[in-house]
């Protein structure tokens, strides 16, 4: 069902300042925000609209909401010693849960500017968390000082415009991997490829003519989660190798 609606008929701020636009709705009487629209492009909606009904946003909610729960559980198991990885894995799971959780929450209320900024501020948890936990798993004594400086840079980058913010995030990660080059293996390379691909999908923010679940922002979510899963494997193997060295 497509309905053309004027600005004056809307109950909230829209994309333009006058004229008309097309709303897409798959349920009678229910209108959804345009796919990929920026925060503030639509009026605020109850939590259940984007979580269960909006065909575009509900994929964003659940594709990062379910991994959030998974990382929380895995982190607790690692902390308790039930699974290998120890503190490094539990810390990484915390970082991954922060990034995924803030993302999922932002898509529950996609027109909330405060939640959007919190989402941006949680991205550095992964930018710093990946190399930090890799170092912890391979060489627990560090060094870690460069990560503190890059954490400040990445946090400041969260307040830049989308393209500049994305480039600054990528640059921060590149600096850390360059400095801690000895943590890089095929797994880290695969993670970098996935994260950079995700950055491209975020900036491009297109593909809205594709089947639902295959649009650019959805692909971004999948890339981030897949990279995090790879890092769980990385930490687990590194921890097991370190244990074998100690036993030997």
Check pLDDT > 70 for residue 245: no
pLDDT digits (tens, 9 = 90+) for 64-86: 999 999 999 999 999 999 999 99
Please report, for residues 59, 159, 188, 246, the alpha-carbon distance to residue 138 in angstroms, rounded to integers and kept in the order given: 36, 33, 13, 12
3-state secondary structure of 173: helix
For range 48-68, the mean pLDDT: 97
What was the pLDDT predicted at 94? 99
What was the pLDDT predicted at 246? 65
Contacts of 159 (CB under 8 A, 6+ apart): 117, 120, 165
Give the Cα separation of 153 and 127 in Å (integer).
11
Sort 101 into a burial class: Cβ within 10 Å, 0-12 / 13-18 / 19+: buried
- What does pTM read for this prediction? 0.86
pLDDT digits (tens, 9 = 90+) for 81-115: 999 999 999 999 999 999 999 999 999 999 999 99
What was the pLDDT predicted at 240? 83
Check pLDDT > 90 for residue 10: no
**pLDDT category of residue 143 using cuts at 50, 70 and 90:** very high
Q: Is 121:155 a contact under the CB 8 Å cutoff? A: yes
Domain ranges of the chain: 2-32, 47-247
Check pLDDT > 60 for residue 14: no
What was the pLDDT predicted at 12? 38
- Give 134 or 36, the one with higher predicted confidence: 134
- DSSP assignment of 105-156, as one string? HHHHSTT-HHHHHHHHHHHHHHHHHHHHHHHHHH-TT---HHHHHHHHHHHH
What was the pLDDT predicted at 42? 82
For range 165-194, the mean pLDDT: 98
Contacts of 202 (CB under 8 A, 6+ apart): 162, 166, 216, 217, 220
Q: Is 179:173 a contact under the CB 8 Å cutoff? A: no
Contacts of 109 (CB under 8 A, 6+ apart): 44, 45, 47, 50, 115
Check pLDDT > 60 for residue 15: no
Residue 22, strand partner residues: 4
What was the pLDDT predicted at 213? 97
Is-cis flag, bond preceding 143, omega within 30?
yes
What was the pLDDT predicted at 244? 66
Looking at the chain, which runs of residues are DSSP E strands? 2-6, 20-27, 30-32
What was the pLDDT predicted at 29? 66
For range 149-174, the mean pLDDT: 97
- Give 50 or 1, the one with higher predicted confidence: 50
Check pLDDT > 50 for residue 135: yes
Check pLDDT > 80 for residue 7: no
- Give, rounded to a whole angstrom, the gap between the first and last alpha carbons of the chain: 67
**pLDDT category of residue 60 using cuts at 50, 70 and 90:** very high
Nearest-CA neighbor of 5 among 25, 20, 18? 20
Give the Cα separation of 169 and 61 in Å (integer).
23
Average pLDDT over the chain, rounded to an integer: 88
């Amino acid at each position: 069902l497509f309905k053309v609606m004027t600005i004056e008929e809307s109950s909230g701020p829209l994309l333009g300042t006058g004229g008309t636009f097309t709303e897409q709705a798959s349920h009678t009487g229910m209108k959804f925000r345009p796919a990929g629209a920026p925060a503030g492009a639509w009026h605020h909606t109850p939590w259940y609209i984007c979580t269960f009904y909006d065909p575009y946003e509900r994929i964003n909610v659940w594709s990062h909401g379910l991994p959030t729960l998974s990382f929380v559980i895995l982190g607790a198991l690692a902390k308790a010693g039930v699974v290998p990885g120890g503190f490094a894995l539990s810390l990484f799971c915390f970082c991954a849960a922060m990034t995924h959780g803030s993302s999922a929450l932002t898509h529950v209320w996609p027109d909330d500017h405060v939640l959007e900024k919190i989402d941006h501020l949680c991205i550095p948890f992964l930018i710093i968390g990946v190399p930090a936990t890799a170092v912890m798993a391979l060489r627990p004594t560090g060094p870690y000082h460069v990560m503190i400086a890059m954490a400040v840079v990445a946090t400041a980058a969260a307040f830049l415009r989308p393209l500049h913010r994305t480039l600054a995030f990528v640059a921060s990660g590149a600096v850390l991997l360059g400095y801690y080059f000895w943590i890089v293996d095929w797994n880290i390379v695969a993670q970098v490829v996935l994260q950079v691909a995700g950055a491209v999908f975020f900036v491009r923010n297109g593909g809205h003519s594709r089947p639902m679940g295959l649009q650019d922002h959805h692909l971004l979510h999948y890339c981030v989660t897949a990279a995090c899963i790879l890092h769980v494997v990385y930490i687990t193997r590194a921890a097991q190798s370190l244990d074998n060295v100690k036993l030997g």
